[in-house]
Structure 1
Amino acid sequence: MDVAAFSDDNFQVEDWINKTFKFAEAQENKDAFVSSLIMKLQLYVQQVNSALEDTSQQVLQSLPRVMRDTEILHQEALLLRDKMHSVKQEIAKVEQDTGQSMKILERIDTLKTELQIAKQALHEADNWTVLATDLEEVFESGDIESISAKLVSMQQSLRILANVPDYEDRKLQLEGLKNRLEAMTSPLLVQAFTSSSVEQSRVFVRIFTAIDRLPQLLKYYHKCQKGVLMQQWQNLVETEQDEGVAEWMHKFYDILLSNWHDQVKWCCQVFTSASVANTLIELYADTLKSLDPSFSACIDAALKQQSDQLTFLMDLRQITKHFAVNLQVAVDSASQGKPVNKEGLLLLAQSVYSPYVAHVSKYAHYEQTYLVQQLTVLECSKTDLMDTVQSLGQSTPRAISIAVEANKRCLLFTEGCGYCGLIKALKIYISKYLDQYRHILRQLDFQKSDREDWNMFQMCLTLLQSVGELLNQLRQLDRDVTRSLLDVSRKLSDLNGSKEGNPFIQFKKLLLSSAGQKELDALFSSMQEGEQMLLEEHITLSLNKLCSDVHHTTFQVIFAPISVQLEQVQSASAWSSVSKPATAISADLPAFSFAPQEYITQIGQYLMTLPQHLEPFLLQDNPSLTLALRVADAKYELLSGGAEGGFADVLLGIIAKGTCQTYCDNILGICELGPGACKQLATDIDYLGNVLEDLGLSLSDHLQQVSTLLRLSPEEYQTKSSGCSPRLVAAVRQMRNITSSG
């Protein structure tokens, strides 16, 4: 039976009983099991009682002995306290009796220390003199190790003699001796560094470190390695003149990378206390700046022989960028996770990209030249003018793709730093491309005639549609270039604003001069503050005027037959018949007896045919033409976008307005009108009004007023003309020879 459960703090009798009665033995005969269990518990109780009695007897027996031991410990503690008090009093007495003696001893010890220092100084002063005397003999022997050992001893002596009056003179003397040693070892140094001898170089590193001249030793290493690399570049240029600057740069970059890895291994064995990465960074930056001939000179010379200068520069730039990426990886590997000098690394990156700074500043010129060359591909002149117009419209996608490629070139060649130049080049490119439209427009103006020419009208609308398509695509190009510029602005700002950033990708500092950086920053600021498009103003001015000019030519082509007929108004024979005797009879005829004259019926018939000619262009969905019309004339802007055939109505309205205005102006140019002529002219005007009404249009207010004034009798002219324009009232009165009563 498990009795361990009785010692549990959370013992529950019910749980223990239930658990016990789960055994099979309890299930078979519960009464017998209970009796057996009770008997066992009683036995356990007896055993526990017996153990408690035995333990109590033992405790009672040992209690007197425990009391005695406790009393002994108490007495010993009291005795120890008395002794400690006695010792404390003795210590206080000793301190009181010997305090003055301790002060004397301390002062004597201080004097001893000062005497030892003075003795050492005298010894070192004597040693300095001995060393200075012996050093001349050692210099004559040429034993570099012995000389350096003597210099180290003098250096140690000088530290102790820091407070002597002639310290500065001794210091100058020591520096002079170090210079003599350095001059003596310089040929050996150059030989060791040039031959890359690890053992010899280590000896010199140890010597120069001991005499505090390690920076000077690193300068010797810098000078030797720089000379080796510059000589390799000169050999490359002299022996491979036929290959060109691109191949020279590619091979020399390979030499530099290979040499970098070799020098990292060598320097790690030799210059254990110096930063290998910083040493090589300084070396490579100086080497790239000091090449003779320089990269810049070689590029400039080669550039003069290139017909496509921009592509040539981009190829070179890609070679350099590839080298810069590999060099950056090499620097990271050499630093082994340790921080490198960011300023030195920036100087290295600038020396890598420095040959391109001048060319990035002239990027606008290179890009403009390239784009103008591409315009030759877009030459659209054909023998037939209609073919030329259609060819020009078909060239629009290619023209835009050329501009898109220019944006990509800007990112590839200048990393976005040349956007100021790109904008200038694109503006000139767009202007020169638009010259083709202007040239065709001049041809249309030259070839248009006074007669009805629907072929010319079709060419004008086709050209206007092409201008609208160009305007739409140029706006999209402007949005794309602007979005690209804003992305570049954020990217360059993040790169240049981060102190921990990688100098090899801080292209604004690498590819631009200070003036170029200010110009680019100004462009970024204007874009971010104003959110304006880069080419918007240029596109708006150029394309809006072009749309307006093409629309004007289109109007002239349509209006030419009308204008020719209206020119007959002033010289019509009907007005001159006032001098004939038949005038009196014709004046008495009723209004319905008059028929419109031929000139106005010709105009009416022409106007009625216009809708069927406009329908192919203006009734179908034509976004490009719609855009061009909206830009060309504000009247189209007032039209709702869902009005079917609305643009044809607007164009008809413009033509009707021009017709009415021209008609009215010609009427006012008539010298004299008789009563019959007045009725005839009024009939002509009414006929035009009926034609316009059939087209859904109406006469102008002035023309309606002229018609009204022509019908008024001389007697009622003064009273019933009061609502008309005073200018028209006066003009018609003069033509009709009506005397003014007022």
Structure 2
Amino acid sequence: MDITVFSEDDFDTKAWVNKILEEGEKQDKKENYTMSLVMKLQLYVQQVNKSLEETSQEVLSSLPKIIRNTKQLQEEAEALRLKMSIVQEEITRIENETGKSINTIEKLDDMKNKLEIAKQGIHESDNWDILVNDLEDVFDTKNIEQISRKILGMQQSLKLLVNVSDYEVRKMQLEGLKNRLEAIASPLIVQAFTSNSTDNAKIYTEIFMSMERLPQLMKYYHKCQKEVLLKKWRASLEKDQDDTVTQWMHGFYDLLISNWHTQTKWFNQVFKNQSSTDFLIEIYVDVLTSMDPSFNECIDASLKQVGDKLAMLQEIKQTMFQFCNNLNNVVKQTTQGKVDSAKLLILFQTVCNPFIVYVNKYAAYEQAYLLKKLSGINFMQEELSDTIQNLGLSVTSVMDIARESKYRCADITENCGYCGLLIALRAFFSNYVDHFRVALRQIERNKKNVEDWTTLQLCFSLLQISGDVMLKVKEFEKELTETVLGDLNRKFDDVEFKYLILNKDDRREIESLVKCVTEGTKLSLLDHVTNEFVSLCSDIHDTTYQVVLSPISSQLSVVQSAKTWAQFANSTFHSSDMPDYSLSPQEYITEIGQYLMTLPQHLEPFLFRENPSLAYVLRAINEEYSITDDTEGALATVFLKLVAKGTCQAFSDKILCICELNYPASRQLSHDIGYLSNVMQDLGLTLSENLQQLSILLKIPADQYQSQSSGYSARNVAAVRQMRNIPSN
């Protein structure tokens, strides 16, 4: 049995008993188990009682000794207190008796110190003059160590002569001597720093540190390192003239990394208690901004000689950021991660600074590349049908080219050139639209005034291809927007790339773009492209409409001709008392009727079947299509309504142009209108209100015209009266 739980502060008797009894339920004989537990607890109680009794006896037996020791300790403490009181009284008595003597001794000691200072000042003043006289002779020997010792002695003397009247003169004299020493030592210092001579450099460091001129010495080191690195850059260009600019950059960057390792070790040996990282960062920033020729000059010269400028810029960018990454790792290893992030940012910005101008020009580079790729696609053919077929086949290739530009922008500019990419894409798609317009102009030139179903099919094919492009552009635009929302603030070591490779104006522009998209502003990244395609599709639709309507207009041209109605001038067959069913429609209107009845068959491949591209573009260019549902034939019905509307309008216009019409001819014309109405009813269409009025007005007898023409359009009433020569009351 585990009884250690009894000693716990939060021991719960009920919980412990329940737990023990639950374990007992697993036993065959519960009563025996319970009796055994009770006996064990009684034995434990007896043991605890025995132990308590023994402990109590031991404590009682030791109490007399403890009491005696306590009493003895109290007596000793009282004796010590008495002695301390006696000593304190003795100290107070001595202070009272000797206080005046101590004050006198303190004054005498103060006077002694002042006399010693005055003595030392006089000695140092004499020493100053001696050192000045000796220095002139030592300067002739150009022994730097001896000169430095003399100057150090003068420096120590000057500290003690701070209260003399000519202190400032002596100070200026000392600075002049230090300048003379520095002038003598400078060639040797430059040689030591250039050759990385550790021993000599340490000597000069000690000398300049003792003279309190260490910053001047470190300027020598800065200048020497800068000159060494710049000479190596120029030498590499002269030696490897046939290499590419990326090879030059890569080689120089490797040199800087190697130099960092070497100089960090050397710097820490020579300039102790100084930060090698901060100082080398300053040197590298100075070197990278002082290169002759600069990286930009080399890159510009190379860009003029290469065809694929974007590929070259991608290599340059990778080379730069590979160096930044390597240098970042080296710096953090050197400093164990403790580095001034502000200075490191300045170094990275200096490394990336040559690339800023090319990110600024990215739109022009990308646009030229995209247009070149587009020009490589074969669009135009001798046959118009082949041209339209090529346009259809080009859609996938064109969208692949556009999508590749998005990935290329990420690779080259880390999406910092996104605004430039959008400009290039707009120019790219605008140029693509121009190829569609060329095909449209060919259709317009080939358009005839007779029935031409081939041209109609070409129009619908071109419209469908345009819709396909619009759908893919819309999908592509979503991808561009997702990139803006999620991948436009890429970072390099906790620093956003836009602070490394963008100037202020470009950074402000891309921040504005991100703000507009993230805040839900109605901004379409390719709105210009969409608008151009909508305009194109609208023009294609208009041309399609004209292709369909041209044969009808051609047939209707006979309506306004006097010859058409001259045959009814002396006709008895068309007398007023003959019923309407005895009349027959004329040839021109039957031709139109047959043409309209045939039209739906030629619309079936495009408008009577599921065609998402065509449906999308039609709804984008005309509101009448947008209010239709997705049932089969809904778009065809709208197109037929537009054709019917145009036919009725053209028919009405031709009728109103008739100069003179007798009653038999008037009845015939009304019958022709009725035939057209029947045709349209068969197609599920209706005749226009204007044409229905003209049909009724043309049938009214002359003697009843005044009474039966009321309620109709005044324009139509007057026009029919005039052409029928009906007098007005």
- The letter for the 2-side match of 1:640 is D
For residues 526 and 393 of structure 1, what CA distance do their matches in structure 2 show?
35
State yes or no: 1:180 paired with 2:201.
no
Deviates further, 468-477 or 311-320: 311-320
Taking the TM superposition and a 5 Å limit, the aligned residue runs for 1:545-624 are: 545-571=535-561, 573-577=563-567, 580-582=569-571, 586-624=575-613
1:155 aligns with 2:155: yes
Pick closer, same or farther for the CA change 1:15–1:127 going to 2, 3 Å. farther
Question: 2:178, 2:185 → 1: CA distance?
Answer: 11
Secondary structure in 2 aligned to 1:587?
coil
Q: Secondary structure at the match of 1:477?
A: helix
Match of 1:348 in 2: 347
5 Å-filtered alignment, 1:75-154, equals 110-154=110-154
SS in 1 for 2:575: helix
What is the DSSP-based 3-state SS (H/G/I as helix, E as strand, rest coil) of the residue aligned with 1:586? coil
One-letter amino acid of the counterpart of residue 607, structure 2:
L
Amino acid at match of 1:294: S
Aligned counterparts of 1:22 and 1:82: Cα–Cα separation in 2: 59
Q: What corresponds to 2:501 in structure 1?
A: 511
Equivalent in the alignment of 1:286: 286
Deviation at 1:324, TM superposition (A): 2.3
In the alignment, the residues of structure 2 paired with residue 506 and residue 164 of structure 1 have an alpha-carbon distance, to the nearest angstrom, of 60
Please give the alpha-carbon distance, in whole angstroms, between the structure 2 residues aligned to 1:481 and 1:155. 70
1:238 partner amino acid: E
Counterparts of 1:533-544 in structure 2, within 5 Å, are 533-544=523-534
Shift of 1:681: 1.5
> In the aligned structure 1, how far is the partner of 2:289 from the partner of 2:238?
19
Deviation at 1:592, TM superposition (A): 1.6
Take 2:307 and 2:75, find their aligned partners in 1: how far apart are those partners? 116
Distance 1:560 1:422 in 2: 44
Q: How does 1:399-548 map to 2 (within 5 A)?
A: 399-491=398-490, 502=494, 505-548=495-538
118-127 or 243-252, which moves further after superposition? 118-127
Q: For the Cα contact (< 8 Å) 1:672–1:736, is it kept in 2?
A: yes
Match of 2:243 in 1: 243
2:39 corresponds in structure 1 to 18
Q: Per-residue deviation at 1:15? A: 10
Q: Using the alignment, how far apart are the partners of 1:478 and 1:719 within structure 2?
A: 64
Amino acid at match of 2:364: H
Residue equivalent to 1:629: 618
Code of the residue aligned with 1:482 in structure 2: it is T
Q: TM-score, normalised by structure 2?
A: 0.86
CA 1:659–1:161 in 2, change beyond 3 Å: closer, same or farther?
farther
What does the per-residue CA deviation read over 1:70-95, in whole Å, with 9 as the maximum and x for residues that have no partner?
Answer: 6x998888787677666656655665
Structure-2 change in CA distance of 1:114 and 1:476 (3 Å): farther
Write out per-residue CA displacement over residues 279-319 of structure 1, whole angstroms, 9 at most, x where no aligned residue.
Answer: 22122222222222222212222222223323223222222
Per the alignment, residue 731 of structure 1 pairs with 719
Instruction: Tell whether 2:312 aligns with 1:312.
Output: yes
TM-score by length of 1: 0.85
Paired residue type of 2:619: R
Offset, 1:397:
1.2
Distance in structure 1 (CA, Å) of the matches to 2:319 and 2:57: 99
Distance 1:203 1:76 in 2: 67
| Aligned position for 2:397 | 398
Q: Quick one: distance in 2 between partners of 1:669 and 1:204? A: 111
Query: Relative to 1, partners in 2 of residues 1:581 and 1:327: Cα closer, same or farther, differing over 3 Å?
Result: same
Quick one: which amino acid aligns to residue 596 of structure 2? L
Change (3 A) 1:124 1:739: farther
CA contact (8 A) 2:359 2:501 kept: yes
SS at match of 2:576: helix
Could you tell me whether the CA contact under 8 Å between 2:697 and 2:709 is conserved in 1?
Answer: yes
Choose 399-408 or 105-114, whichever is displaced more. Answer: 105-114
Output one character per residue of 1:96-121: Cα deviation in whole Å (capped at 9) or x when no partner: 66666665555555555555544444
State how far apart, in whole Å, the 2-side matches of 1:198 and 1:281 are.
21
Cα deviation per residue 1:203-224 (whole Å; 9 max; x = unaligned)? 2222222222222222222222
Which amino acid is the alignment partner of residue 457 of structure 2? Q
- The question of whether the paired residues in 2 share the 8 Å contact of 1:151 and 1:178 is answered with yes
Distance 1:716 1:163 in 2: 136
Q: Please say if residues 555 and 592 of structure 2, whose CA atoms lie closer than 8 Å, have aligned partners that are also in contact.
A: yes
Question: 1:73 and 1:605, CA in 2 relative to 1: closer, same or farther beyond 3 A?
Answer: closer
Q: Distance in 1 between matches of 2:85 and 2:579?
A: 157
Cα offset for 1:251?
Answer: 2.2
Partners of 1:52 and 1:434 in 2: CA distance? 112
% identity of equivalent residues: 47
- Cα 1:79/1:16, change in 2 over 3 Å: farther
Alignment of 1:676-691 (within 5 A): 676-691=664-679
Residues 535/116 of structure 1: CA separation in 2 closer, same or farther (3 Å cut)? same
Match for residue 650 of structure 1? 638
Provide closer, same or farther for how the CA distance between residues 223 and 22 of structure 1 changes in structure 2, counting only shifts above 3 A.
closer
Moved more, 421-430 or 238-247: 238-247
Alpha-carbon distance in 2 for matches of 1:180, 1:547: 85
- Between the aligned partners of 1:120 and 1:591, the Cα distance in structure 2 is 147
Q: In the TM superposition, what is the alpha-carbon distance from 1:523 to its structure 2 partner?
A: 3.1
State the one-letter code of the partner of 2:517.
M
Q: Which amino acid aligns with 1:410?
A: C
In structure 2, relative to structure 1, the CA distance for the partners of 1:686 and 1:105 (3 Å cut) is farther
User: For residue 649 of structure 2, what is the aligned residue in structure 1?
Assistant: 661
Given the superposition, is the C-alpha separation of residues 690 and 112 from structure 1 closer, same or farther in structure 2, using an over 3 Å criterion?
Answer: farther
Alpha-carbon contact 2:489-2:496 (below 8 Å) kept: no
Q: Distance in 2 between matches of 1:73 and 1:477?
A: 96
Distance 2:467 2:638 in 1: 17
Is structure 2 residue 196 aligned with structure 1 residue 196? yes
Contact 2:317 2:412 in 1 (8 A): yes
Give 3-state SS (helix, strand or coil) of 2:399's partner: helix
1:639 CA displacement: 0.7
Query: What is the aligned length?
Result: 689
Alpha carbons 2:560, 2:655 under 8 Å: kept: yes
Q: CA deviation at 1:663?
A: 0.9
Measured in 1, the distance between the counterparts of 2:403 and 2:653 equals: 51
Greater mean alpha carbon deviation, residues 458-467 or residues 167-176:
167-176
Conservation of the 8 A alpha-carbon contact between 1:721 and 1:729: yes
**1:276, 1:334 within 8 Å by CA — same for their partners in 2?**
no
Deviations for 1:325-361, whole angstroms, at most 9, x for unmatched residues?
Answer: 2222222222233223x44333322332232222222
Counterpart secondary structure, 2:560: coil
Q: CA deviation at 1:163?
A: 4.7
Match of 1:27 in 2: none
- Secondary structure of 2:273's counterpart equals coil
Output the CA distance in 2 between the equivalents of 1:563 and 1:140.
115
Alpha-carbon deviations, 1:451-473, whole Å to 9, x = none? Answer: 11111111111100110011111
Q: Which runs of 5+ in 2 are unaligned?
A: 1-10, 12-34
**CA, structure 1 residues 385+82, in 2 after alignment: closer, same or farther (shift >3 Å)?**
closer
Aligned equivalents of 2:532 and 2:97: distance in 1? 111
Tell me how far apart the structure 1 counterparts of residues 481 and 267 of structure 2 sit (CA, whole Å). Answer: 49
* Segment drifting more, 82-91 vs 280-289: 82-91
1:218-272 deviation digits (Å, cap 9, x = unpaired): 2222222222222222222122222232322222222222222222232232222
> Once structures 1 and 2 are overlaid, which stretch shifts more, 598-607 or 477-486?
477-486
Residue identity opposite 2:248 in structure 1: W
Does the C-alpha gap of structure 1 residues 18 and 705 become closer, same or farther in structure 2, counting only changes over 3 Å?
A: same
Contact 2:409 2:418 in 1 (8 A): yes
- CA 1:83–1:396 in structure 2 vs 1: closer, same or farther (change >3 Å)? closer
Aligned residue identity for 2:449 = D
**Alpha-carbon shift at residue 491 of structure 1 (Å):** 3.5
* Aligned 8 A contact 1:276 1:335 in 2: no
C-alpha deviation, 1:606, in angstroms: 0.8
Q: Distance in 2 between matches of 1:729 and 1:121?
A: 132
Return the letter of the residue paired with 1:674. N
Q: Distance in 1 between matches of 2:728 and 2:108?
A: 142
